[in-house]
Structure 1
Amino acid sequence: MKNNRQSFTTVEKENKITALYCRLSRDDDLQGDSNSIKNQRVILQKYADDNGFTNTAVFVDDGYSCTNFERPDWLRLIALAEDGVIDTVIVKDMSRLGRDYLKVGYYTEVFFPGLDICFIAINNGVDSANQQDSDFTPFLNIINEWYAKDTSKKIRAVFKAKGESGKPLAVNIPYGFIKSSEDKHHWLVDEVAAKVVQEVFRLCVNGYGPSQIATELMKQGHLNPTAYAKSKGIGTPDNRTAGDDYTWQTSTIAHMLSRQEYLGHTVNFKTHRKSYKNKKQVKNDPSDWQIFENTHEAIIDQETFDIVQRIRDGRRRLTLMGEMPILSGMLFCADCGNKLYQVRHRGWEHDKKHFVCATYRKIKVGCSSHQIRNVVVEEILLDSIKKTITAFATNHEGEFVRLVTKKSQARISKLDGIIQRLYEDNIEGKISDERFSKMSKSYEDEQSTLTTRIAELKSTIASENERSDNTDKFLALVKKHINTEELTAGLIREFVEKIFVYNTERVDGKKVQRIKIIWNSIGAFEVPTTTYNEKSA
């Protein structure tokens, strides 16, 4: 190549830079020392010295993929090239520039020639100053891209096998855990950070939204996850910045509140990349996740996690006065099934604040207001928790368990009968032989509807069985709050799944409004002899 090169004759060329570019990816590192940065430097400098290239400058990108062209020193080299500072670019081989056929081709066939920059790939015998040396360059780029694609397939296969085996795929483990020194695939609880995670869930149960939780953590002086990791000497990804060490992002809080890893589970395949060329992570549907339960110690118990998910599913917002009603997201219209929303005005006393049906509030038709004052629901709830459910369940534990079980079993028997009748109707009467033989569209639709209905009923039976089994869990909750005197957002969500509000009716000339409480774990339950769930609004 040296004999075919044009000599440097002008002062301008002598003052320009000869760029020696080195790149090493993690995959290259597995191949041994031949592609090491040190080895590339030696080869490039020797070539420059032997061929009369002076004023050399070394550009190094260590740990960057061959398909990623957003490399710091590569971008610096390109910027200098555009400024007219660079005369020649030398690499060890074409793959050091990259393995993307189109992008590498753009730089070697368009960008560098357009700026009158000579490009040399030593091991491939490529020298753009000699056209014959460059004729084979496009084929080299295609081969290099095929290699990158093949390598990506192999890495994906290894990654998939690892994920399916139950080993965690997360590069950065969730805040609250640390890797075991004995097994990097096993997570241990970081006691300091775990207490903050528990505080986040506790605040959510008590009615705080992500932004309020973030503010509270800052007031309490807790380092945010990035700052905490740095304080422990743990490296953070390049695309993260700590900013204010005590400033928590609401998105971080929201993400923490949904992570099943805090239950002690490993959750793999949450995201994927569409192509080895595109490094952007795309979220997978939760149905595509693979969850391996009880792979490490839990930080949050299942009951607390479930309460938080119900709260998050019914996202609540502050009122215009900056308040978060303790009943927000808990009240539902007994007729249309929509939520009830808080209504209040500046200057109102608490006893004037009330909830109304969202359907009525938005369109005024299709449903009635179902208006009910906050204090009425709060009084009924506290009365039910203290005097009804708690008192009865504590003083008559055996009877309580018997009633809950009997109620569930009665419901199960009724549903079993419905399913049996559906099967009999299907076989004996409602669907004719002609329709069976023709397999008409209407037959298929009816069969589909029948199958769906049976599946729904069986799911309901499973829920009833679960409620019967969860009686002990509810009793434990009752005993935990045996001396409760104050109604809080957290207490409500521990005890109650949802509350249905009925429309106001006139009974014996008086306005009466009924509410129905659906308790966590046991569903709707009324204590015998006295009903506390009915009260005049």
Structure 2
Amino acid sequence: MARISRRNLIKTEEKVTINSSRVGIYTRLSQERTEEWRNKSYSIESQVEICQEYINKENMTLVKVYTDYEYSGTNFDRPGYIEMMNDVRSGFINCIIIRDLSRLGREHLEMGRLVDKVFPFLGVRFISVIDKIDTEKGIDAKLSFEILIKNLINDMYAKDISHKIKTSRQVHARQGFFIGSNPPFGYKVVKKDGGRKLEPDEVSMKIVQRIFNMYVDGINTLKIAKELNEKNITTSSAYNKTGNIMREPGQPQWRKGTIANMLRQRVYTGCLVQGTKENVQGKKSGHYRQKPKDKWIVVENAHEAIISEELFYIAQEILDSNKDKSEFKITRHDMKRDPINKYKGVIFDANTNLLLSRKGEKSNKKNAKFYYYKFTNEENNGILLETPYISIMESDLDNLVIKKLRNVLSIDVSGKDCKDRIIDICKMKIEVVERNRKSISLKISKLNSDLKRLYEDYSLGKIEKEDYLEKRILNRKDLTIYEKNLSDLDLEVLSIETQAEEEIDLFDSLFSNKDIKLDENIVQKYIERIDVYDNETIEISLKGFLGGREMRSSE
């Protein structure tokens, strides 16, 4: 038999390892991608192409490409990176390939931890094509030092770029240039004089002017939102994406809060207010807080106004006046309320599968001092319903639930048969528990007897002290467990008796001539779900057991 050389054996093993690699390519492009050189060498397509060439060369298997578009490398709170690490932990991939170290991150401490600690611990192979790093082939002291230097340089570069971008944006803002991403509704962005300027958009500006005029004329934000939605006027976010002023089906609708926020924007008077927020230090990316007003960048006459200052300030006065009249400012009254929503999480709009909201309204009856409650799918924010309008009184719903329980149980007026079943079931359950109690009590008695004999043997010198103490500890340990089980069984008996009493009380209530008030416990215990299709079609699904019968019916 021919002898296989060790060199060929090693090569064969390496080949098998490489072929078994399940590769994930990671790509990232930050917000400073607009530089001309970066578009060419660091584009997502270029990164994938370089990594794919390496995969083909090494005869590896590509499983997935992970991409973070417009994310900084200074933190690792990125969706693509998080998804990749989850796939590593689940074993979906066992090899990560990147174009160069800066694509994975630019924070040198975390990068060092990943390469030196995390990836080896997770058993994942890490390859940086441009940097010629492959953890499977080993990282010697020289290469480790090169990685450290590169990570430090990337870290410094990221901080330098971040500072320059921030400074440049502040300078542009003070010069009256727009530094935001999307322009306010009513404006468009044009490149002008080395920056980005706001100019009136001939189409959307008319909607803004109409909103201000309607509000000053006494039409509230709710009615304005409804009118815009009824006329299918698109929202700011949709208009920025499509450029179409008419709303398409499925696109977002106007809300009264959106209208109120728009009425507060000084940008419509030609005044550009920017730099109002800042990143929260020590928090993940995307956490902002409001700056003090004296830190805001405010430039008067930065662009053409589409709303006069006179009209704008009249709108502000009305907004401030309405704020003072808020319902939260009203003096407290002595009307009876029922703050507990017993149908919480149970009642749905069957057409949308969304929960119906509970709303309280003051009774219109003369001298009435109570609130009545209803469930509805109407949102008091201006959004138009695209499904049937639902409004059902809570008292009517209570009656339907009571009727449902009575029909499913199908018992006589007295409920005697079902009450007898409840008592019988209760007795059977307690008998089972009592048998368990008797068995455990016998075990406890035996342990006490064993301990007594053990002590007698020790006192007579039949066993050593060490053996006695060791066996005594084991005895007492078992005794503690059995006593705890006995206590749990006592509580179980109490629970069985309490449940039986509650069920009997429920029967007495359901089949008495007195008015019944359903409480939260009954609804949450026996109602699986209530689906409301419209004000006339309601389906109630039950759950659990009552009177020995499974409550599994709907109508």
Q: Structure 1-normalised TM-score?
A: 0.51
Q: Say whether residues 1:168 and 2:175 are aligned partners.
A: no
Structure 2 equivalent of residue 107 of structure 1:
114
Q: Say whether residues 1:247 and 2:253 are aligned partners.
A: yes
Structure 2 equivalent of residue 219 of structure 1:
230
Match of 1:265 among 244, 268, 271: 271
* 1:316-335 alignment runs, 5 A limit: 316-317=324-325
Structure 1 equivalent of residue 144 of structure 2:
135
The number of residue pairs the alignment matches comes to 318
Q: Say whether residues 1:192 and 2:210 are aligned partners.
A: no
Residues 102 and 27 (structure 1 numbering): CA distance in 2 closer, same or farther, change over 3 Å? same
Structure 1 equivalent of residue 124 of structure 2:
117
User: Residues 165-196 of structure 1: CA distance to partner in whole angstroms, max 9, x if unpaired?
Assistant: 22222221110112347676332222332222
Q: Say whether residues 1:76 and 2:87 are aligned partners.
A: no
Residues 22 and 232 (structure 1 numbering): CA distance in 2 closer, same or farther, change over 3 Å? same
Cα distance in 2 for partners of 1:21, 1:319 equals 53
Q: Say whether residues 1:294 and 2:305 are aligned partners.
A: no
Cα distance in 2 for partners of 1:68, 1:244 equals 35
Give, as a single letter, the amino acid of the residue that structure 1 aligns with 2:263.
L
2:155 alignment partner, SS class: helix
Decide whether the 8 Å contact of 2:234 with 2:244 is kept in 1.
no
* 1:374-523 alignment runs, 5 A limit: none
Structure 1 equivalent of residue 28 of structure 2:
23
Residues 11 and 251 (structure 1 numbering): CA distance in 2 closer, same or farther, change over 3 Å? farther
User: Residues 235-269 of structure 1: CA distance to partner in whole angstroms, max 9, x if unpaired?
Assistant: xxxxxx99943611333222211111111222232
Decide whether the 8 Å contact of 1:16 with 1:85 is kept in 2.
no
Cα distance in 1 for partners of 2:48, 2:363 equals 72
Cα distance in 2 for partners of 1:243, 1:291 equals 38
Structure 2 equivalent of residue 430 of structure 1:
none
User: Residues 133-179 of structure 1: CA distance to partner in whole angstroms, max 9, x if unpaired?
Assistant: 66334454333222211111111111121112222222211101123
Structure 2 equivalent of residue 178 of structure 1:
188
Structure 2 equivalent of residue 205 of structure 1:
216
* 1:45-64 alignment runs, 5 A limit: 45-55=52-62, 57-64=64-71
Decide whether the 8 Å contact of 2:176 with 2:197 is kept in 1.
no
Cα distance in 1 for partners of 2:12, 2:161 equals 41
Decide whether the 8 Å contact of 1:18 with 1:89 is kept in 2.
yes
Structure 2 equivalent of residue 153 of structure 1:
163
Q: How far did residue 74 of structure 1 move?
A: 3.0
2:94 alignment partner, SS class: strand
Q: How far did residue 97 of structure 1 move?
A: 0.3
Residues 55 and 15 (structure 1 numbering): CA distance in 2 closer, same or farther, change over 3 Å? farther
Unmatched 5+ stretches in structure 1: 235-240, 323-343, 350-537
Overall identity of the aligned pairs, in %: 31
Residues 29 and 264 (structure 1 numbering): CA distance in 2 closer, same or farther, change over 3 Å? closer
From the CA coordinates, give the structure whose radius of gyration is larger: 2
Structure 1 equivalent of residue 347 of structure 2:
none
**Cα RMSD between the aligned structures?**
3.8
Residues 317 and 101 (structure 1 numbering): CA distance in 2 closer, same or farther, change over 3 Å? farther
Residues 47 and 14 (structure 1 numbering): CA distance in 2 closer, same or farther, change over 3 Å? closer
Structure 1's consecutive aligned runs of 4 or more residues displaced over 6 angstroms after TM superposition are 9-13, 181-184
Give, as a single letter, the amino acid of the residue that structure 1 aligns with 2:273.
V
Decide whether the 8 Å contact of 1:263 with 1:301 is kept in 2.
yes
Residues 35 and 267 (structure 1 numbering): CA distance in 2 closer, same or farther, change over 3 Å? same
Residues 107 and 216 (structure 1 numbering): CA distance in 2 closer, same or farther, change over 3 Å? farther
User: Residues 187-239 of structure 1: CA distance to partner in whole angstroms, max 9, x if unpaired?
Assistant: 222233222212322333344444443233223432111222333179xxxxx
Q: How far did residue 81 of structure 1 move?
A: 1.4
User: Residues 59-109 of structure 1: CA distance to partner in whole angstroms, max 9, x if unpaired?
Assistant: 444443223534454343223212202121121221110112344344334
Give, as a single letter, the amino acid of the residue that structure 1 aligns with 2:239.
Y
Unmatched 5+ stretches in structure 2: 1-7, 331-361, 368-555
1:308 alignment partner, SS class: helix
Q: How far did residue 28 of structure 1 move?
A: 4.7
